Chains A and B, each alone.
Chain A
Amino acid sequence: MTEPGTSGVSGLYRGVWKGAPLLLLGVVAALPHVYSGAYFIRLLFVTLVWLTTSVAWNILGGFAGQVSFGFAVFYGLGAYTTALLLNSGMNRASCLLLGACVAAFASLLIGLPTFRLKGPYFAIATIGVSEAVRVVMTNLPFTGGASGYRIIEKGAFHQLLHFYFALGLAGVAVIVSMLVQRSKFGLALVAIHEDEEAAADLGVNPFRAKLLAHALGAALTGMAGGVYAGYAAFIYPGGVFAFDISVHILLMPIIGGVGTVWGPVIGSVVNGAVHEELVASFPQLHLLLYGSLLILIILFEPGGVLGLLGKASRVLARARSAGGSHS
């Protein structure tokens, strides 16, 4: 419903809007060359890793509405797989891919029994699974148990290399998310979220769709864990399998705007900024903040930051058109 005479402008606007993600990617890729401080690049790196996990979780938790409290399992499995394989001499990309495979396989094992459960019970079951895996990994001798596992560094540490791996992975994650959202598969996930039985009554196979969404999310999260492991060179179960990780992974998309492509991105940027600033000075303050934000979001704005922005822009648009009709 474009007014005559403005279609050229709105067409351009839409074109810019569509090109914006690419522009953003370019900007972020160039950032380390503008601000080359190691601390800043590390901040970017960590944010990009979180971004991947956030977008990944959203495929299952946002599109399909299956809230998992156990994504740390995939993060940790990806981290350990990559670390073990890196030490055996494999090239980084293959390590990451294999980490993704291990995580995806684990997601099938977890999903097969738990996807029969309805929403909140599924969530609780994932807490149980996640913690069980953490306890097992803490006691497992060949991966170093509680004291962790170290990657033997070969050659110098190139911070930028890790940054670009993280950036590339984040880009892949966002692209996957966009593709899913526009696809038949994405439609099935949203239908399942709305009413799983009604979706099945129209031919959707909910079990298989959930397993696939879980595997996609797990694979991406596993690779994020692998990228992190490569950077940190030392991982331990209390770190990569921590319930805390699962909590962060699910909070980011919910705060940013669950069920959308860019909500999780926003959430991860917020997390990156807030986390790094607060975690040094007030380690628990950021979780306190998140908890309060979560409460506010559930009670007042389930669409998160993106939802708020959407409402604000509609209010502005209405005000503008009301003003325009008077002139």
Chain B
Amino acid sequence: MAAILRIERLTKYFAGLAAVKEVSFELQEGGLYGLIGPNGAGKTTLLSIVAGSLRPTSGAVFFQGRDLTGAKPFQAVRAGIVRTHQIPRPFRALSVLANVEVGVKFGGKQKSAGDGENGMGVLERVGLGRAASMPAAELSLGDQKRLELARALGARPRLLLCDEVCSGLTEKETTSVLGLLCDIRRAGTTILYVEHNLKAIMSVCDHVIVMNYGEKLAEGPPEKMQNDPAVIEAYIGKAESI
């Protein structure tokens, strides 16, 4: 089984503070991976490094066997790595459809399942078809998050990096988005999903990586992580012995 993404001892310092410290892991193609950890654990920083927005201080990123360490964001996209943003960043002056068209026109070259899909198709998949001609500035938060996902999908990712796509959404919206993620995975895209909503992660991911204070704490199937004492301690603190 091919490892689509391999991270080796990735480290990122911001003025003396280690946001990410010697993190290594592998993602197999076609998996739905969760990346969890308390606030400030370095999850988004890690995502940004893989996507090319940040340069690592040291360490390497291998994608489909190629060394993509230090690649610029647009190069990562062309290779097939596309990210969504934690806080949506729509192109406000453009229509919803035009937003997706940017990804479609400039996105990855690789043929993934569902390639050849145009902007409208992606919008329909995500449930935003009716809003296609609306200016992106007028979307609700939930729809803006969908647009983030739609834009990333339009760029034909082999590896989709999702940053908290469910935060701020209602229960119903969350279920819907999670279902969407499963569909995307089934269509052949590998997903690395950063999320705070542990229930969401546990319900869809087949493998979970836990970070804390910039380091990888543990990884494994969701059930195992739920019961891992180190993970529990990271989130809740040391168990009281009374």
Contacts and interface: CB of A to CB of B under 8 A. Distances in A.
Interface of A: 184, 187-188, 190-191, 193-195, 197-206
B105 interface: yes
A200 B72 contact: yes
B13 interface: no
B41 interface: no
Contacts of B82: 201-203
B161 to A, nearest CB: 10
Contacts of B53: 197, 200-201
B89 A203 contact: no
B73 A200 contact: yes
B240 to A, nearest CB: 44
A197 B73 contact: yes
B214 interface: no
Contacts of B111: none
A301 to B, nearest CB: 16
23 contacts: A184-B106, A187-B98, A188-B106, A190-B94, A191-B91, A197-B53, A198-B91, A199-B102, A200-B53, A200-B72, A200-B73, A201-B53, A201-B73, A201-B77, A202-B77, A202-B82, A202-B106, A202-B154, A203-B78, A203-B103, A203-B106, A203-B108, A205-B74
A202 B106 CA distance: 7
A201 B91 contact: no
Given A187-B102, A201-B53, A203-B78, 12 more contacts: A184-B105, A184-B106, A188-B102, A190-B93, A190-B94, A191-B91, A191-B102, A195-B89, A197-B53, A200-B77, A202-B151, A203-B102
B242 to A, nearest CB: 49
B101 interface: yes
Interface of B: 51, 53, 72-74, 77-78, 82-83, 85, 89, 91-94, 98, 101-103, 105-108, 151-152, 154-155
Nearest to B48: A201
Contact of A187 (B73, B101, B151): B101
Contacts of B77: 200-203
A202 B107 contact: yes
Classify the interface of chain A: helix, strand, loop or mixed: helix
A194 B93 contact: yes
A201 to B, nearest CB: 5
A66 to B, nearest CB: 16
B94 A201 contact: no
The 5 nearest A-B residue pairs measured at CB: A203-B106, A203-B77, A194-B91, A200-B73, A198-B89
A191 B83 CA distance: 16
A197 B89 CA distance: 9
B145 to A, nearest CB: 14
Contacts of A198: 85, 89, 91
A202 B94 CA distance: 15
Contacts of A202: 77, 82, 102-103, 106-107, 151-152, 154-155
Contact of B74 (A193, A194, A195, A206): A206
A87 to B, nearest CB: 45
A295 B214 CA distance: 48
A233 B82 CA distance: 55
Contacts of A200: 53, 72-74, 77
